[in-house]
Structure 1
Amino acid sequence: MSIHCCYCGGRWPENGSYNRQSFLRHDVPSIPHSKNFIFSIPLPSSRFSLGFKLHCLPYSTTPAPKNQDGASFLSILKILKSKQAQDFPDETIDSLVSVLSPKMQTILLKKQKDWRKSLYLFRRMKFAKDYSPNPIHYNIILRSLGKAQRWDELRLCWIEMAKDGVLPTNNTYATLIDVYGKAGLVKEALLWLRHMKSRGLFPDEVTINTAVQVLKDSGQFDLGERLFKGWCDGKVELDCLDLSYDGSTDSSVFSSKHFLLTELFKSGGRAPVSQIASGLARDPQKPRRAATYNTLIDLYGKAGRLKDASNAFLQMLQSGVVPDILTFNTMISICCSHGHLLEAESLLGKMEERRVHPDTKTFNIFMTYHASNEDAENVLKCYRKMKESGLHPDVASFRIILQILCERKMISEVEGVIEEIMELGSIVDEQLLPVVMKMYINEGFLDKAFIFFEKHFYSGDVSSKNCAAIIDLYAEKGFWKEAEEIFLAKRKLGSKKDIVEYNVMIKAYGKGKLYEKALDLFEIMRRTGPWPDDCTYNSLIQMLSGGDLPDKASEFLSQMRKSGFMPRCESFCAVLASYCRSGFLSKGVQIYKEMMACGVEPNELVYGSLVDAFAESGRIDEALEYYNIMEKSGMKANRIVLTSLIKAYGKVGCWKEAQELYGKMKKLKDGPDAIASNCLINLYAGLGMVNEAKLIFDDLIRNCQADEVSYATMMYLYKSMGMLDEATDIAQKVEQSGFLTNCASYNNVMASYAVNGKLKECGELLHKMLTQKILPDASTFKILFTILKKGGFPSEAIIQLESSYIEGKPFARQAVVTSLFSVVGLHSFAQHLCEVLVNDGVKLESFACNAAIGAYGTAGEVDKALNVYMRMQDDGLRPDLVTYVHLAGCYGKAGMIEGLNRIYGLLKYGKIDPAESLYKALICAYEEAGRDDLAALVDQEMRFSFQNDEQICDD
């Protein structure tokens, strides 16, 4: 059935517009009585069909009275509840509506949630011959239209109300004030009070309460209080309210403001003059409704006036007005929001005394308070008490409890609450999905996170905004694959991805350094939508700049401007900094010039990047140029810029200029930081200016700013100046200060100890380093070989170990470390490494066997050393010079003279090449075995052998 405007004969357009002139021509002179006038507000097309076919549909929400009135009521409800697009004739509806009593008609209108259905039913009611227009029905329609913000339809309804001779009541005005206020039209809502005053109608308690509530919700607490107090004094003063028309013209034909200020106030029934005069003022009065006091108490609470809220509550009790649950909840909420828990709990006790039982909201207020204080225990306590009271948690309850549990990472408790939600036949609120997902992701339960997402994503209607929040959680952790799965998850029909989702997915790809994927997604956006916004471009520019792809980032910078977006200063800065890091200073300067041409003011980071880049390259003049430009533009140089300049001066050795800048930094609020101080110390160290460097270093120590760089620079300075004791003192302070956090810091301290001959301390540091799972680097091994030389380790053994390390042979590192522990006297550490080497089950090379034999022998474990030697022979490895040196030591400790004699014999008869280290090893071994005579014989042989070698060389 086609939809027609009554008395117009024209079809309603599909877009919901209508011809205003066709409606305003309706004076309808042919209708003899207003009760027969059909309410002729045009009804736009919608999913609701105005034609019906009667079907028997199940509907049992309202009990059916056993009479014609009730049967008609239920029939209409069934028809309106039907989702089928069937057409029902108007005559069918008319026949059902006409038999309803006015009360049942009112109930029917109130039950409609769609303004179109309400309007249609009201039209059919008015079509009945015996229908008598009344303000109650008009009030319902006005509220329905106002809630839907159908202001033009509301205007037409107001005009029809006047034509029907229905005078607006206090309820009418309260309705209009309420719907306009909730729509955010505060001034327009309060204009209805002026309209009442012009009609001589004094606001009743409901109306004034509604007006005060509008002022309270808009934050105009003082005006709300003045309006309320004026009403209590028997007058309504509107001078305090800003209700003046600002003269602006709305672009629409009938805006809400234009409607109120012109045509609206000219229409509507006017009360008799005597009634107008009597309605202008009243005797002083007091509120008699709990709702009024509730509004006033809430107003004082939101204004932060706790004492006034308490006084209003006391006045309510003294006036004999019985507080309801809303009163107590409001007072409890005020107390909790201002941290007065004891007063809130006292009010809870008063509720029980007055037999006002707490509801779910009461417990939610307490839970919110405890959650704000991160008191999970009391949140859970309130939650349990709520359930013990027979109350069911609502969405807010679950939101509070899950939020606090997720923050505390109480996974089992969270899963218990989620299970409870599912058992109640409900779903987890979509706002909580990112909260729960964050807990799982942060705790590393990625599988659980995805299972949770799949279960609750497809069971509810999750907004694109919350999907974006979940993607961002994965992106922050670098889990681009998981983020992509969320992004590509199949959505419900009609649900589309918002631009934010695409932007966050680009961020996820950027975090994972998947730049090609990010660019592909950008191209998809350009082809199929949504169209990239400024955030999209800024994200891509930041991503590519951070990935050291400045040329590509620069392309997007130009593309962004062509698309009508102005890049932010941060985007220009990112590209500029990327060029500077890559060494393309000229391109960085070009970006700076483009930035200036676009009218984007550079910030400290831009100038800092330029100054630092030129400082690093030693181009002090350009660095100073941009520093001066920065100061001329009114920006004060920060510590970063000044530090860069100090670094630049350091590169060219201009210590006076650097010192002057450092003095300038001292005048800043926080003074120079460790980086600037370290730069100046390094400059002084390079120039050998010990006293100046020490002054700055001491300042850092006093201010607790000294870091590992500060200590390392001072150690280098002292060592280079030959001040070994001072270098050792600094090294000890580093060890005590906890700055040994990486390989470089360990190397610095070990080097200082080694220079000063503290070899055992070096070994202990190395063991500590290995215990912390910090792997030695090339610099570390360089220091270790120096320590071996200082410790008297055989030169042939050092050469053998060094060559195996350089060649990268298996177990070379372990052999070096084992030998070092042995040399410095840390035998237990050395033997532990030997056990690892020997018991690994892998065939060892000679250098590794030699290291084990030497370590065991030095520690006095001769049997273990000889076992390694025998294993060496079993593996087909021939003993070399280093092997015999270590074996000599073992035989000497065990008093095995025969073994020593055998080695000496091999040496004497040329089976082993003569080496000073082997002679010395034999001499020490004989002496240790108590055979000084043999030791003297070997010593004599050594001298004779080397004397002959010298003569041969001379010849």
Structure 2
Amino acid sequence: HSVPEIIKMYVSKGLLVQARTFFEKCQVHGGLSSKTYAAIMDVYAEKGLYAEAEVVFHAKRDRGREKRDVVEYTVMIKAYGKGKRYRKAFSIFKAMRNSGTWPNECTYNSLIQMFAGGNLVDWAKKVLNQMREAGLKPHYQTYSAIIASYVRQGRLADAVRTFQQMEGEGVKANEVVYGALINGFAEAGRTEEALHYYRKLEDRGIRANRIVLTSLLKGYSKRGYIEGAKVIYESLKKFDGGPDIVASNIMISLYAYFGIVSEAEVIFNNLRQKGQADGATYAVMMKLYQTMGLLNESTELAEEMRQSGLLTDQVSFGRVIAYHAANGQLADCGKLLHEMLARKIMPNMKTFNVLFKILNKGGIPRESLQQLKMSYQERKPYAREAVITCVFSVGGLHAFALESCKAFMTGAVPLDRFAYNVAIYAYGACGQTDRAFNLFMRMKDGGFEPDIVTYNYLVDCYGRANIVEGVKWIYSLMKYHKIEASESLYNAIVNAYRNAKRPDLAKLVSREKRSLFESNRYSVSDIEGEYEQYSESDIERQH
């Protein structure tokens, strides 16, 4: 076996120490050529082990062979690229030229593709210009990498300029280059430009592959061109295996947009029979059924999705939680959230927006909702846990709520006022009012004065505990302007009197509330408008 082959065997088994020891022994005996050094470095480069490749690159050479060959520099650049150490790659590229070793086409192309792949496209373009100045000709893979990088960043004008430059220099584009441009314009909803490059591809005699056609299908879908989309989808059926899941989901989404249930069901049932339907497929069909008023079918799909094991990540859980939230099924939302957390999957930002909508539907006071949103946006400690606790409480899942509450109540970080408020609410909602009162005292001992949210939850506890004097105390604070009058607090006081079996007092306070707020009633739509539902566009972004 050659030295690189033996080192490759060690590296493939994770025996890096043994690989280095063997290399050092070989060095002692001498005779390693520049080609051998490059081959050894390439073993490490393939695994992204740039530090190990560095050791070989900087190793002392035999007398008379101190100068490193261009291939060694090129492989070292590759190793840095694999390890995403782009600055080091550029640094060694400059050191290469300073040492009198001039980069060849392979060096330039590797460096350009590396920068483009890392979305450092401006660096890539700079090196491309240097390559031209050196009289070297980039190949189509190099241009393709730069164009694809521009497209990923939404810099379509730069992508087009690079394409035109490529054509001007006589470098022929392939389906990868055309595919990148078609996909970029399709993503941007610029279907005519996408079609322009599709026609250029056909004029060149290049057969559009599945990726290109799926990109074009996406463009038609974004513009709502259903007839054009049908033609493309039929073309995809001619490939082995037919349209893939991405194309099928896009087509289902388009049918769903126009409310064409039967056509969407044909594709969906075909995917389901083949076991190819994914979370995105189910999400679109659930929304379609829901929009068309077919709630039983939609609910059955949601349960089927859960039973099929398709709830595996933030997005899939978020979609189903959003579905149940839209139908007002708050307990189901809480159960799914608990299952999600049990699998150690934390909700993402979009799902938290849905959770806020659940709290609004569950009757959380406006001030409490605003306080929780602000705490979450400011990334305060335990903000996420507090929101989750409230979701469990509004869904009537009090055991889950207390479990979540205890997690942050016993944490090492001191609690903020919003966390105390949530804990008081959670314990009060499940009937443990003594514990809620204790937390109120602990909150004051911690230096936090009660705010309007605290009083909302505290008066609810007084009502549940039949402590009428406590309800009267908070009412008097508001009536005599010790605390600000609030419609939510009036509502809480009315409900507290009812819970305490004092409908007479509840009636008096309710009458007073109407006289104060009837002309300036708060609408829950003001909050609901802030939260967006999961939509078909999520499917395209996911894929």
Q: Letter of the 1:831 partner, please give it.
A: L
Is residue 729 from structure 1 mapped to residue 300 from structure 2 by the alignment?
Answer: yes
Q: Letter of the 2:10 partner, please give it.
A: V
- Preserved CA contact (<8 Å) 2:44 2:79: yes
Residues of 1 paired with 2:132 and 2:75: CA distance?
21
Structure 1 length-normalised TM: 0.49
Q: How does 1:175-574 map onto structure 2 within 5 Å?
A: 431-440=5-14, 448=17, 452=21, 455-456=24-25, 458-461=27-30, 464-465=34-35, 467-495=37-65, 497-528=68-99, 530-550=101-121, 552-554=123-125, 556-557=127-128, 560=131, 566-574=137-145
Q: Please, which of 307, 310, 319 is the counterpart of residue 739 of structure 1?
A: 310
Q: Letter of the 2:435 partner, please give it.
A: K
Cα–Cα, structure 1 residues 662 and 808, in superposed 2: closer, same or farther, change >3 Å?
same
**What's 2:250 paired with?**
679
1:470-495 CA-partner distances (Å, limit 9, x unpaired): 53454345443443233212233344
**What's 1:797 paired with?**
368
**What's 1:946 paired with?**
513
Q: Please, which of 323, 337, 342 is the counterpart of residue 752 of structure 1?
A: 323
Residues of 2 paired with 1:843 and 1:436: CA distance?
51
Matched residue count: 518
SS of 1:440's partner is coil
Gapped regions of structure 1 (runs ≥ 5): 1-395, 400-428
- Preserved CA contact (<8 Å) 2:491 2:510: no
Residues of 2 paired with 1:951 and 1:510: CA distance?
66
Offset at residue 643 of structure 1 (A): 1.4
- Preserved CA contact (<8 Å) 1:725 1:756: no
> Which structure carries more relative contact order (alpha carbon 8 Å, separation 6+)?
2
Q: Which has the higher helix share?
A: 2
Residues of 2 paired with 1:515 and 1:950: CA distance?
62
Q: Please, which of 836, 845, 855 is the counterpart of residue 407 of structure 2?
A: 836
Residues of 1 paired with 2:485 and 2:133: CA distance?
83
Q: Please, which of 757, 760, 763 is the counterpart of residue 334 of structure 2?
A: 763
SS of 1:851's partner is helix
Is residue 868 from structure 1 mapped to residue 435 from structure 2 by the alignment?
Answer: no
Cα–Cα, structure 1 residues 464 and 706, in superposed 2: closer, same or farther, change >3 Å?
farther
Residues of 1 paired with 2:519 and 2:146: CA distance?
72
**What's 1:781 paired with?**
352
Q: Letter of the 1:435 partner, please give it.
A: M
Cα–Cα, structure 1 residues 519 and 876, in superposed 2: closer, same or farther, change >3 Å?
closer
- Preserved CA contact (<8 Å) 1:434 1:466: no
1:420-475 CA-partner distances (Å, limit 9, x unpaired): xxxxxxxxx6632232133327xxxx7x4686467545445455455445534543
**What's 1:878 paired with?**
449
- Preserved CA contact (<8 Å) 1:801 1:812: yes
Residues of 2 paired with 1:950 and 1:482: CA distance?
72
Is residue 712 from structure 1 mapped to residue 283 from structure 2 by the alignment?
Answer: yes
The worse-fitting range, judged by mean Cα deviation, of 711-720 and 842-851 is 711-720
- Preserved CA contact (<8 Å) 1:440 1:449: no
Cα–Cα, structure 1 residues 528 and 763, in superposed 2: closer, same or farther, change >3 Å?
same
Offset at residue 659 of structure 1 (A): 0.7
**What's 1:221 paired with?**
none
Offset at residue 742 of structure 1 (A): 3.4
Offset at residue 580 of structure 1 (A): 3.7
Is residue 630 from structure 1 mapped to residue 204 from structure 2 by the alignment?
Answer: no
Cα–Cα, structure 1 residues 675 and 535, in superposed 2: closer, same or farther, change >3 Å?
same
- Preserved CA contact (<8 Å) 1:438 1:473: no
1:45-102 CA-partner distances (Å, limit 9, x unpaired): xxxxxxxxxxxxxxxxxxxxxxxxxxxxxxxxxxxxxxxxxxxxxxxxxxxxxxxxxx
1:193-222 CA-partner distances (Å, limit 9, x unpaired): xxxxxxxxxxxxxxxxxxxxxxxxxxxxxx
Q: How does 1:843-858 map onto structure 2 within 5 Å?
A: 843-858=414-429
Residues of 1 paired with 2:149 and 2:256: CA distance?
31
Residues of 2 paired with 1:591 and 1:440: CA distance?
42
Offset at residue 936 of structure 1 (A): 1.7
Structure 2 length-normalised TM: 0.82
**What's 2:268 paired with?**
697
Residues of 2 paired with 1:948 and 1:619: CA distance?
55
Offset at residue 536 of structure 1 (A): 1.5
**What's 1:31 paired with?**
none
Offset at residue 669 of structure 1 (A): 2.2
Cα–Cα, structure 1 residues 865 and 539, in superposed 2: closer, same or farther, change >3 Å?
same
Residues of 2 paired with 1:505 and 1:734: CA distance?
48
Offset at residue 750 of structure 1 (A): 0.9
Offset at residue 815 of structure 1 (A): 1.9
Offset at residue 555 of structure 1 (A): 5.4
Offset at residue 662 of structure 1 (A): 0.9
Offset at residue 702 of structure 1 (A): 2.6
Residues of 1 paired with 2:245 and 2:110: CA distance?
32
Residues of 2 paired with 1:541 and 1:841: CA distance?
49
**What's 1:391 paired with?**
none
Residues of 1 paired with 2:97 and 2:374: CA distance?
60
- Preserved CA contact (<8 Å) 1:431 1:466: no
Is residue 936 from structure 1 mapped to residue 503 from structure 2 by the alignment?
Answer: yes
- Preserved CA contact (<8 Å) 2:77 2:111: yes
Cα–Cα, structure 1 residues 463 and 734, in superposed 2: closer, same or farther, change >3 Å?
farther
Q: Please, which of 384, 387, 398 is the counterpart of residue 813 of structure 1?
A: 384
Residues of 2 paired with 1:561 and 1:951: CA distance?
75
Residues of 1 paired with 2:225 and 2:262: CA distance?
17
Residues of 2 paired with 1:951 and 1:660: CA distance?
57
Offset at residue 855 of structure 1 (A): 0.9
Residues of 2 paired with 1:622 and 1:946: CA distance?
60
Residues of 1 paired with 2:130 and 2:489: CA distance?
76
Offset at residue 852 of structure 1 (A): 0.5
- Preserved CA contact (<8 Å) 2:468 2:497: yes
Cα–Cα, structure 1 residues 807 and 552, in superposed 2: closer, same or farther, change >3 Å?
closer
Offset at residue 939 of structure 1 (A): 1.8
Q: Please, which of 169, 178, 181 is the counterpart of residue 607 of structure 1?
A: 178
Offset at residue 751 of structure 1 (A): 0.9
Q: Percent identity?
A: 47
Question: Could you say what the CA RMSD is over the residues aligned between the two structures, in angstroms?
Answer: 3.5
Residues of 1 paired with 2:7 and 2:432: CA distance?
65
